[in-house]
């Protein structure tokens, strides 16, 4: 999962797209400057060098450069720093109101397309949409003793890793099917169309030797119902909704946690 959702690194493609965002910001400084001069570009560059990089300005004050020169210098400095400085730079530009609404929407789209584990919030700070613990939870579930569940989880992760055409509904469907297959296995049933989640849970409840506290799966039952009613589990539903990355990760993490819980119960039993 660490290779799918980036929370402690940044891909080259995301670096390039952040670089293009910075280029647009510098380009905009010329448009809003009086008479189209480079004065605002210089002001922005000087601000970043002094307040963000905290370095000495090397360009001459007497000679103004084209904004592309400033952009290139900033990117070169970023390349010499830690990966998260790209995020920090976008944050500081947003906080000084240089990331206008359309550009912020573009950043959100880029982060989703590049499977970044962060989103730019209304307070102009990047917040992780997942964390290391969640990723470990998903990885652990994919190594559980439930064979059918492992297959579903691997399918979910594969769908999640698709950058060009990610199918988040499929991620949710596979994650939910993974948990359903676990309950069917715990109930001692065979995986077929007749043995659904409801049938499996009823058999588990009727088993007086059962040590599984089913109150823990209430959130899953809610997700199961929502996915069924909104065309995620069954295609062709006129109420079908399109999920996004955060929806997919929420469901995948929750389902993985339930699978880990059931794995422990199965081992202890």
Strand partners, 119: 127
CA torsion sign for 160, 161, 167, 173 is: negative
Highest mean predicted confidence (pLDDT) among 38-52, 162-176, 198-212, 235-249:
38-52
pLDDT digits (tens, 9 = 90+) for 160-219: 877 667 788 888 899 999 999 998 988 888 877 788 888 888 888 887 677 777 777 777
Longest CA span, the chain: 85
Mean pLDDT across 224-232: 71
pLDDT digits (tens, 9 = 90+) for 67-84: 899 999 999 999 999 999
pLDDT digits (tens, 9 = 90+) for 4-32: 778 788 999 999 999 999 999 999 887 76
Find, among 139, 165, 167, 142, the residue nearest to 152 by Cα. Answer: 142
CA separation for the pair 98, 49 (Å, rounded):
16
pLDDT at 36 over 60: no
Q: How confident is the model at residue 260 (pLDDT cuts 50, 70, 90)?
A: very high
Find, among 26, 19, 17, 25, the residue nearest to 112 by Cα. Answer: 17
Return the pLDDT at 15: 96
Q: Where are the domains of the chain?
A: 12-128, 132-268
Return the pLDDT at 85: 94
């Amino acid at each position: 999962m660490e290779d799918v959702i980036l929370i402690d690194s940044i891909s080259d493609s995301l670096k390039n797209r952040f670089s293009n965002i910075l280029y647009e910001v510098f380009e905009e400084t010329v448009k809003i400057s009086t008479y189209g001069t480079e004065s605002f570009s210089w002001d922005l560059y000087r601000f970043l060098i002094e307040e963000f990089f905290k370095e000495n300005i090397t360009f001459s004050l007497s000679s103004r450069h084209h904004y592309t020169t400033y952009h290139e210098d900033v990117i070169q400095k970023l390349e010499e720093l830690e990966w998260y400085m790209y995020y920090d730079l976008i944050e500081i530009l947003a906080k000084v109101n240089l990331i206008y609404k359309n550009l912020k929407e573009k950043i959100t789209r880029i982060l989703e397309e590049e499977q970044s584990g962060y989103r730019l919030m209304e307070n102009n700070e990047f917040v992780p949409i997942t964390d290391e613990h969640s990723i470990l939870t998903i990885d652990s579930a994919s190594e559980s003793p439930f064979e059918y569940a492992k297959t579903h989880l691997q399918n979910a992760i594969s769908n999640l890793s698709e950058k060009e055409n990610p199918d988040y509904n499929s991620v949710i469907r596979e994650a939910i099917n993974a948990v359903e297959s676990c309950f069917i296995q715990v109930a001692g049933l065979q995986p077929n169309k007749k043995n659904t989640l409801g049938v499996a849970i009823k058999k588990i409840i009727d088993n007086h030797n059962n040590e599984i506290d089913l109150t823990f799966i209430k959130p899953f039952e809610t997700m199961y119902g929502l996915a069924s009613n909104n065309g995620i589990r069954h295609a062709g539903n006129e109420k079908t909704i399109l999920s996004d990355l955060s929806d997919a990760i929420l469901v995948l993490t929750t389902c993985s946690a339930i699978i880990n819980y059931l794995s422990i119960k199965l081992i202890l039993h």
